[in-house]
Amino acid sequence: MDLNYTKEEQAFREDVRSFVHENLPKDIGEKVLHHKRLVKDDWVRWQKILYKKGWVAPNWPKEYGGCAWTPIQQHIFDEECGYAGAPRVMPFGLVMVAPVIQNFGSKWQKEYYLPRILSSEDWWAQGYSEPGSGSDLASVKTKAVRQGDHYIVDGQKTWTTLGQYANMIFCLVRTDTTVKKQEGISFLLIDMTLPGVTVRPIITLDEEHEVNEVFFDNVKVPAQNMVGEEGKGWTYAKFLLGHERTGIARVGESKRELEQLKAIAAKELRNGKPLMQDPRFRDRITAVEVELMALEITLLRVLSSRTKPGPEASILKIKGTDIQQALTELTMEAVGPYALPFRPEVRDGNWKGESVGPEYAAAAAAVYFNYRKTSIYGGSNEIQRNIISQMVLGL
């Protein structure tokens, strides 16, 4: 047993670190570190920088432009990017739909969509959840009816993250209502600029526009946009889930937030002394830090195992989001009464005005409320527990 990174891995980490340090645009890094609002161009700019370096799709097979990294290298890359304050690479195209297209898509779909995903020419959204289908995803109702060379799509998707920026959406649609619900689902790629597609914002507790409702009204989608076989959408969706599990631990981001929390607690005073010296508060920081140390090793154990990550990877989602939420909670408490002021305008990258309280307090409560989403999205933590209890424990 050797729980150290190899020399090669350490050298790789140095490479990633210096690359990010030298290439992450300062304005974007500042926004991420201070919880300012990112706009489409921020993500696209960073993804294009990674694309130029050949690092935008490390999870892809080499033949499609991937990096052929080991899972540990992939983790080191994620961790370094997260820690440095790089925006998260938008997963919907690169991490989610691309592997489905690579494994099940047609020759045309591969040739047309994959290069556009790599170059960030297309911005993809995920069309899974519907108003009546959240945890019970297999109950999706949005229907696609074959009509000659097209499918006619009617229905609604919801909680579509950054759908306002997207021009493509991959959807689970119902193509057959006569069979078992999982067997009537298909995987359809829909151009959001087609007539009949409407995107409507959902404003969240922090008054930000991050998620949307997407409506399909008689949308005529070319049949060549059907992935694989009709009725196999559920299988592809499950395949896709296996691809998003390990990145969800967010160890790098949490390390960065922990460090920022400690810096805040060193500045804030309680009874005339730094909050960081208050045993009551310090112990709570320690408790999160210990959980984070354990999560990192748990993640590395999953990544190092010779088999593909299985259902036990749900642990990473549960603990990863617990930790992210605990950090936002402690940060909000650290700023004391300055958690109250709510000034969304301050989160604009170009905002210049009179501040209220310390800069680090400006978004603390908003971020706390925003991060409640993490235990709900990507399969709620209740669903993750069901997965573990059924698939791992056999209960």
Partner 1 sequence: MDFIYSDEQQQLRDSLQKYIAKEYGFEARKAIIASKQGFSDKVWAQFAEMGLLGVAFDEAHGGFGGSSVDTMLVMTELGRGMVVEPYFSTVVVGGSLIDLGGSEAQKQAILSEVVQGKLLLAAALGEPKSRYELNCVETAAKRDGAGYVLNGHKAVVLHGESADKLVVSARTAGGARDAKGISLFLVDRKSAGVAVQGYRTIDGMRAAEIKFANVKVGADGVLGEVDAALPLLERAADFAVSALCAEAVGAMEALNAATYEYLKTRQQFGRPIGSFQALQHRAVDMMIHCEQSRSLALLASVKVQSEDPNERKRTVSAAKIQIGRSGRHISEEAIQLHGGMGVSNELAAGHYAKRLTMINATLGDVDHHSERFASAA
Give the interface with partner 1 as residue ranges (CB under 8 A): 129, 132-136, 139, 158-159, 202-205, 207, 211, 268-272, 278, 280-281, 329, 332-333, 336-343, 354, 356-357, 365-366, 368-370, 372-373, 375-377, 380-382, 385
Pairing of strands 124-127, 143-147: unpaired
CB of 285 to partner 1, least distance (A): 12
Alpha-carbon distance of 141 to 209, in angstroms, equals 25
- Minimal distance, residue 158 CB to partner 1, in Å: 7
**Smallest gap, in angstroms, from Cβ of residue 129 to partner 1?**
7
Burial 286-306 (b: 16+ CB within 10 A, else e): eebbebbeebbebbbebbeee
Task: List Cβ neighbours of 283 (8 Å cut-off, separation of 6 or more).
Answer: none
Match 């998707």 to its residue by tokens. Answer: 157
Least distance CB 248 / partner 1 (angstroms): 17
If the CB atoms of residues 221 and 334 are measured against partner 1, the closer one turns out to be: 334
CA distance linking residue 228 with residue 100, whole number of Å = 9
**What are the CA-CA distances from residue 270 to residues 245, 265, 278, 284 (Å)?**
40, 10, 7, 15
Which of 106/325 has CB closer to partner 1?
Answer: 325
Q: Give whichever of 341 and 349 is closer to partner 1, judged by the CB atom.
A: 341
User: Shortest Cβ distance from residue 282 to partner 1 (Å)?
Assistant: 11
Instruction: Find all residues with CB under 8 Å of 152, minimum gap 6, and list them.
Output: 144, 145, 218, 219, 220, 221
| CB nearer partner 1, residue 21 or residue 273 | 273
Closest to partner 1 by CB, 8 vs 136, is 136
CB-nearer residue toward partner 1: 151 or 159: 159
Distance of alpha carbon 256 from alpha carbon 247, whole angstroms: 16
Sequence-separated contacts (24+) of 295-303 with Cβ below 8 Å: 295/249, 295/251, 295/254, 295/319, 295/320, 295/323, 296/249, 296/251, 297/3, 299/75, 299/246, 299/249, 299/251, 300/72, 300/75, 302/246, 303/71, 303/72, 303/74, 303/75, 303/246
Closer residue to partner 1, CB minimum distance, 79 or 333:
333
Q: What minimum distance in Å lies between the beta carbon of 383 and partner 1?
A: 10
Minimum Å distance from CB 170 to partner 1?
A: 19
CA-nearest of 65, 119, 130 to 93 is: 119
Residue 72 φ then ψ, to 5°? -65, -40
Give least dist CB 313 to partner 1, A.
21
* Cβ atoms within 10 Å of 350's Cβ, excluding its own: 6
